[in-house]
Copies of this chain bind each other. A is one copy, B any other.
Amino acid sequence: MSDTQQNTLQQDYILDEQVGFILRRASQRHLGIFASRIPELTPTQFAALAKLCELGAASQNELGRRTAMDAATIKGVIDRLRRRGLVATVKDANDQRRLFVKATAAGEELFANCVEQARKITDETLAPLSEKERLMFLQLLSKLQ
Chain A residues close to B by CB (< 8 Å)? 8-11, 13-15, 18-31, 34, 43, 47, 50-51, 53-54, 67-68, 108, 111-112, 115, 118-119, 121-122, 125-126, 128-129, 133, 136-138, 140-145
With a CB–CB cut-off of 8 A, which chain B residues contact A126? 19, 144
Closest residue of B by beta carbon distance from A51: B15
Interface of A is mostly: helix
With a CB–CB cut-off of 8 A, which chain B residues contact A11? 111-112, 115
Supposing A26-B144, A27-B27, A140-B140 touch, asked if A47 and B21 sit within 8 A by C-beta, the answer is: yes
Docked CA distance A23–B119 (Å): 15
Q: Are B10 and A122 in contact (CB under 8 A)?
A: no
Docked CA distance A119–B20 (Å): 11
Q: Are B108 and A9 in contact (CB under 8 A)?
A: yes
Supposing A11-B112, A47-B15 touch, asked if A121 and B29 sit within 8 A by C-beta, the answer is: no
Docked CA distance A53–B14 (Å): 10
Closest residue of B by beta carbon distance from A13: B115
Besides the known contacts A13-B54, A23-B30, A25-B68, 20 further A-B residue pairs in the complex with CB atoms under 8 A apart: A9-B108, A10-B54, A11-B111, A14-B54, A18-B122, A19-B122, A19-B125, A20-B30, A20-B34, A20-B125, A22-B142, A22-B145, A23-B26, A23-B141, A26-B141, A128-B144, A133-B143, A137-B140, A137-B144, A141-B141
